Amino acid sequence: MPLLIGPSAALPRCRRDAKVASTACLLFRRFYLSNSVMMHDPRTMLAASAFLASKVEDCTISISCIESGTEEMNARVRARDVLDAEVRLIRGIDFDLLVFSPYKTVLSFTEDMRTFLRTERGAGLVRWPSRRGRGRVGGRRGLAELAGEDLRPMHDEAMRICDDMIRELREGKHGCGNYELDMDELKGLNKKLKKCRAWGLSDKKEKKEKKKKKKKRKAEDS
């Protein structure tokens, strides 16, 4: 898949962000969880997954580029076959196009950080290496405005960590071995994040209902 679509695609016209390749891999895997390779040619479905992923991630690629990309890999799939396979792919995954990947999370965190650092409070927490040519936040002196590529190093490093994690997970590792992270600290952080509202914390009503069901079960067992 990375040779067909993504940052390291064999055909330059098929080079897209890493999140597109990630989404294509997930769609491809999701399809074969409930469909047989004996019934559906993996080569054709791979091309269809790449084409559909480019649409899902708003990075649409031409069907002719997908055909040329497969030809570059010495595994040519015709455009009309890709289109037919795309329909089978969508049906095979039961129209479930919602995909989560670490690359999307990195992008979301980066955008949230950018928004926060452009506020007066956020700008006051950061000291930039050079202030020359920067604007001022809220007209106050001493508070530099965030420039276009200031968060690029943070974003690129986070994406590199995601790449390493995905590679290590395939080998059965936890994905953080290259960064000397304290796993106890990481587990504590994960525990705190699970309590955050954004992670889908159930409301009080649901908790009360669960408690009632538990009490009812205990009463029935006794």
According to the model, what pLDDT value does residue 208 have?
67
Q: What whole-number distance in Å separates Cα of residue 118 and Cα of residue 71?
A: 46
Residue by residue, DSSP assigns the chain as: -TTTSSTT-SSGGG---HHHHHHHHHHHHHHHTSS-TTTS-HHHHHHHHHHHHHHHTT----HHHHHHHHHHTT----HHHHHHHHHHHHHHTTT------HHHHHHHHHHHHHHHHTSHHHHTT---S--TT--BGGG-TT-BPPPTTTTHHHHHHHHHHHHHHHHHHHTTS-S-GGGT--HHHHHHHHHHHHTSGGGT---HHHHHHHHHHHHHHHHHH-
Residue 31's pLDDT is: 94
d(CA 38, CA 42): 9
pTM of the model: 0.62
Token pair for residue 154? 């943070």
Burial of 50 (0-12, 13-18, 19+ CB in 10 A): buried
CA 34 to chain centre: 23
Tell me the chain's radius of gyration from C-alpha atoms.
23
Beta-carbon contacts of 151 under 8 Å, excluding residues fewer than 6 positions away, are 110, 113, 114, 117
Say what the pLDDT of residue 88 is: 95
Per-10-residue mean pLDDT for the chain, 222 residues long?
Answer: 88 88 91 92 94 91 92 91 94 90 84 85 73 48 62 85 69 61 76 63 59 74 68
Q: How far is CA 164 from the centre of its chain?
A: 14
- The domain ranges of the chain are 12-92, 102-181
Whole-Å CA distances, 215 to 64, 77, 205, 212, 219: 61, 59, 15, 5, 6
Per the CB < 8 A criterion, the answer to whether 46 and 4 are in contact is yes
Kindly state the tokens that stand for 113.
Answer: 């950080």
Q: Which CATH superfamily is domain 12-92 in?
A: Cyclin-like (1.10.472.10)
CA distance 115 to 146: 9
